[in-house]
Amino acid sequence: MRFGKAAWLYGSNVVLLIAVILFLLATFLMLINPLFALIPIEQFDPYVLGYCIVNVCLAILCVATIVAIRQRQITVVVFCHWITCCTLIVDAIMIFVFASIMSTAHTSLYSHMRLLHETDKNLCPVWDVAYHTLSCCPPKEVLKSCTDFLNATKLFCPADHSNDCYVHLKKWLHSNTEIVGCLAFCVITPLKLFMIAALRKDIEKVETEMAELEYYSKMITDYDRHGDGYIESFKSTVNLADSTSTQSSRISLIEEVENEFTIRGDEIREELQNAIAAHNARQIEAAASQE
């Protein structure tokens, strides 16, 4: 793989890997925060977990691509690149799902807080965390019922001024979802679009190089296995792969090529030697550039 193509692919995957790790870390910290229990979003929402799993797989693909580039495994690089691009379909779906979840969470936060307190009396420690973390006063219903955990809180939260936690909690939700959303849809998704658009030519060149490597590898193998006369027969078979000719006409044509080889053997042998030498020179040049 040439140094220029390798550098672009390597750099793009490193940046994408860092962005994915930051996204997963931000999502994890938000989900394990005690305050998340007060938010009208399930902690293990299937859409959120599913998108996190996709991004874990994306991180693995980035690592595999980086390792493959360093070890010059072109097939792995191409495979991981196109699988990474396919995750854009998931991104397109999750943009609408994420918008719907966040819209519902913001509009139903106040009613959810009241309903949550009426149905779950075990959230007094969470409200205490909210008081100390957000410096806000929980609803007055909470102050009346949470006698064991909020003694200190009651001293600073009069019953007639104990509803401002809704505003602070909404700000907390907004700031956390902004970080997660920006990483997902303003960094990761545009970067993958860049990899499709800007690196498309590089990937096509890598695929051509991969096909060339396979062609020369098979040619050399057949050369060693069958001798000089098989090379042109192999070439003819490759050229006739998409032909609609009959099997007998193929055999006849291959026989003609083999007969031609006996006349032009030295010329064909020299052509093969030059092709292999040129390929080896490119490989040495690419290795030297990377060093």
User: DSSP characters for 163-177?
Assistant: -THHHHHHHHHHHHH
pTM: 0.65
- Asked whether residue 240 carries a pLDDT value surpassing 50, the answer given is no
Nearest Cα to 95, choosing from 176, 153, 180? 180
Mean pLDDT across 228-240: 52
Q: Alpha-carbon distance 237 to 120, whole Å?
A: 75
**Residue linked to tokens 């052509």:** 271
The two structure tokens encoding residue 290: 């990377």
Q: Alpha-carbon distance 220 to 204, whole Å?
A: 24
In terms of C-beta distances under 8 Å and separation of at least 24 residues, what long-range contacts does 169-174 make, across chains too?
A: 169/35, 169/38, 169/39, 169/109, 169/113, 169/130, 169/134, 169/136, 170/106, 170/109, 172/35, 172/134, 173/39, 173/105, 173/106, 173/109, 174/106
DSSP string of 199-258, one letter each residue: THHHHHHHHHHHHHHHHHHHHHHHHHHH-THHHHHHHHHHHTTT----HHHHHHHHHHHH
Q: Name the range with the highest mean pLDDT among 101-115, 208-222, 231-245, 275-289.
A: 101-115
Asked if residues 102 and 181 have their Cβ atoms less than 8 Å apart, the reply is yes
Residue 150: DSSP 8-state: -
- How many residues are listed for the chain in this entry? 291
Mean pLDDT across 174-196: 87
Instruction: Please tell me the number of Cα atoms within 13 Å of 187 on its side-chain side.
Output: 18
12 confidence band (pLDDT: 50, 70, 90): confident
Q: Alpha-carbon distance 29 to 136, whole Å?
A: 21
Mean pLDDT across 227-255: 50
Q: What is the pLDDT of residues 65-118, one digit of tens each?
A: 899 888 877 778 778 878 888 888 888 888 888 888 888 888 888 788 777 766
The two structure tokens encoding residue 291: 């060093």
Q: Which residues contact 176 (CB under 8 A, 6 or more apart)?
A: 26, 30, 33
- pLDDT at residue 59 in the model: 93
Q: In 3-state terms, what secondary structure has residue 3?
A: helix
Q: Alpha-carbon distance 268 to 260, whole Å?
A: 10
The two structure tokens encoding residue 79: 């495979």
- pLDDT at residue 244 in the model: 46
Nearest Cα to 70, choosing from 14, 11, 4, 6? 6
- pLDDT at residue 178 in the model: 87
Asked if residues 137 and 131 have their Cβ atoms less than 8 Å apart, the reply is yes
The two structure tokens encoding residue 120: 């779950």
Dihedral of alpha carbons 133, 136, 141, 145, sign = positive
